[in-house]
Amino acid sequence: MIDNLDRAILHALQQNARGSYADIAKAQQVSPATIHVRVEKLKKAGIITGTELKVDPKALGFDICCFIGITLRQAGDYPKAIAKLQALPEVVEAHYTTGQYSVFIKVLVRNIDDLQKLLIERLQVIDEVQSTETLISLQQPINRPFEA
């Protein structure tokens, strides 16, 4: 589906999404037009889905990152639970999972007090939630993009 040039383009854009096609072309010894055509092909194929700006949550005062495993009362509660979780701005990721939890979420909060309020006043009161288990992240030693 993709060849070595496509992989090189993806790698270059993951390292610097603002890099110019001319710079990528020079490194790969092809024309900038070739890079443009390949990027458009990767977009049409759904491989490149967009670009993103990375923000350091700690720099904005969000010092606590945690993961919360959620057990739902019933499997059919999933759509309603997800809609309610999506309304919580502290929830930055949600995954429908197999195993012990129905849903596993990633949460960013400013401090332990905010985490406690989120758990008690806004998360555990969701009707579809049977129970939760919270794991606080102490550090994130690995954070890399997916490599094709």
In this prediction, residue 51 carries a pLDDT of 85
Q: Report the C-alpha gap between 98 and 91 in whole angstroms.
A: 20
Query: Using one digit for the tens of pLDDT, what is the confidence trace for 56-100?
Result: 999 999 999 999 999 999 989 999 999 999 999 999 999 999 999
pTM of the model: 0.84
For the chain, how big is the Rg over CA atoms in Å?
20
User: In this predicted structure, what is the pLDDT of residue 4?
Assistant: 95
Question: What are the DSSP calls for 60-115, one per residue?
Answer: GT--EEEEEEEEESSGGGHHHHHHHHHT-TTEEEEEE-SSS-SEEEEEEESSHHHH
Mean pLDDT over each residue of the chain, to the nearest integer: 95
Tell me the per-residue pLDDT of 99-145, one tens digit each, with 9 for 90 and over.
Answer: 999 999 999 999 999 999 999 999 999 999 999 999 999 999 998 88
- Among the four given CATH numbers 3.30.70.980, 3.90.1150.10, 3.30.70.920, 3.40.220.10, the one describing domain 57-137: 3.30.70.920
Would you identify the CATH topology of the domain 4-44?
A: Arc Repressor Mutant, subunit A (1.10.10)
Interacting residues of 88 by C-beta distance below 8 A, sequence separation 6+:
118, 122, 123
